[in-house]
Structure 1
């Protein structure tokens, strides 16, 4: 992989830097992160264009094992933890105007959710205990630890079928999808853990049930952060838990917006009652914009990820035959927020892709 691409994956760190800079510059600068992500990145995506280059097969194994790429993700974990602590410190100061607070609270989850959950997603698919631990830590900061269970053992099994809460259906707007997927994904994670406990001959509510811990740990983290920053003031700063849960909701909403985009209308063929064709590179939407893929660690090469879930982000392939989104994720998220425009663009794309895939 070229040097500029290797450096490009450090782009994600621009986002927390912008949030921090925006706060200290004050005023409307607190909106700079939102403008950068949803205005400047789409413009740069259009200017720079797409990247169809894949790592050569003969060196895939070598590139996949390079520690450099894991190092970036590991650094992100510590940056995000420090960033969250700093965010709580900022809230504890109570020195922002209402407008500044809105800009701050909109920019913050672009770090913890937009990129943080992306990193957690990447790490959570790996066999290393350290990487899986880091994935859980990141998900804890956005109250979405059940994603670790449901995504790996639920979504990747049932994607493109009615059983998958994270597969958006044709004609389903983002807001209806959000309610369904947030509710059903959480319940699905509980069911998966109940089944695991049953197989082990344990009580459903055994302390080995990860969902008990995954539900409690974010609350405990919030309590610790609140205590740490409240003690010097001598009073409970309720602004901190409010901030923690708002940024969590906005953070995991970004994840669900991405899920909505990645799987809209794509269904697998039912080859027998309740049995579906094997997942392949035709079963997810792709976006191959170079710049937004840097920021998202090539998450937009989503078709190859679903076909080969344990592949590391740096060796994910662009597959031309996969359904292709008209733009990168930042642009598509904005489009998804306006259902009439989304349906006008994506239903047509879906029809075109189906005709091509059946040809």
Structure 2
């Protein structure tokens, strides 16, 4: 029997594992009960255990052909995000039809939704804002706006991709920097750096609308809509979910670039971005669930490459590879001493090569 890991991942495989947690959460929002715990157990532990036990990745694709339904899956995932956000807030605020949820069930639903928004919705929105089609780009931006992180649409493309692994990028973590120090620096720094980059673009193009008006205005409109529809309880749950998702987004940035630096050339400019400037994770299940976001170095090398086409190129020497899946490493990053014991020696080896 042929080994399934010897083939590139198919769109049905991406669809199965990216949609599964969202569908479990959808059932939890509608019917509660065991669906709530099934969704949390899958998002919060079961998938990570599978990746740890089966620490393998699927084969790299050959060629740049984009499989059919690549964009369709991204659109479906974005639609599922909006649906889950609306139904989840209704359920959490106690305004759902049918039997209400107790405190434990509400906490479980909150955690499950936050994990989905921070891992799946974020990865999919990140994919969409790199698409060339205007409609897909706007759809990804809308996902970020609903998570009150619309500015990430600007900061990620205009700042992070340009300055990654340098001191000019607020979202590249320094060697020895704890996540809890990185978090406020990255959140505030990316907002400011993205705003400066957009102002510079607007100065060169008279009459251009600064998209920060949309990012900030859209976020305020979301807050107003939730408050009017669901009251203070719904508004509080909404802010909590957005913060929880944003922390996970920053965890991903922290893990994927921790301690890696671009060397300076003779003219003082940093070397071109290469595979040595991002940490990859080959684990198959989290890669499918997060639409190949753990194949991060190839994304930086080819930002316009659609998610099924991203490569690991594991045969290349001295390539930064995480020892565990991206969600597991994100959990370790919240424990600074454990994180440094695991990662600092690996960073030292990469810098020495």
In the superposition, the TM-score normalised over structure 1's length comes to 0.89
Deviation of 1:113 (Å): 2.4
- Equivalent residue, structure 2, for 1:260: 254
Provide Cα deviations, 1:88-142, integer angstroms capped at 9, x if missing partner: 2213435333222222221112222221111111111111101101111111120
RMSD across aligned positions (CA): 2.1
Among 185, 194, 204, the residue aligned to 1:199: 204
Give the alignment of 1:213-252 within 5 angstroms: 213-227=214-228, 229-230=229-230, 237-252=231-246
Distance 1:185 1:3 in 2: 34
Distance 2:146 2:70 in 1: 23
- Equivalent residue, structure 2, for 1:275: 269
1:190 aligns with 2:195: yes
Among 183, 192, 211, the residue aligned to 1:178: 183
Shift in alpha-carbon separation, 1:93–1:306, aligned structure 2, 3 A: same
Among 35, 60, 82, the residue aligned to 1:54: 60
Distance 1:102 1:152 in 2: 34
Deviation of 1:222 (Å): 2.8
2:332–2:338 CA contact under 8 A, matched in 1? yes
Give the alignment of 1:307-318 within 5 angstroms: 307-318=301-312
How many aligned positions are there?
340
Shift in alpha-carbon separation, 1:121–1:251, aligned structure 2, 3 A: same
Shift in alpha-carbon separation, 1:33–1:173, aligned structure 2, 3 A: farther
- Equivalent residue, structure 2, for 1:331: 328
Deviation of 1:68 (Å): 1.1
Distance 2:266 2:43 in 1: 44
Distance 2:197 2:28 in 1: 42
Distance 1:166 1:272 in 2: 25
Among 341, 347, 352, the residue aligned to 2:349: 352
In the superposition, the TM-score normalised over structure 2's length comes to 0.90
2:9–2:59 CA contact under 8 A, matched in 1? no
Mark the runs of 5 or more structure 2 residues left unpaired by the alignment: 1-5
Distance 2:347 2:37 in 1: 34
Distance 1:269 1:4 in 2: 34
- Equivalent residue, structure 1, for 2:76: 75
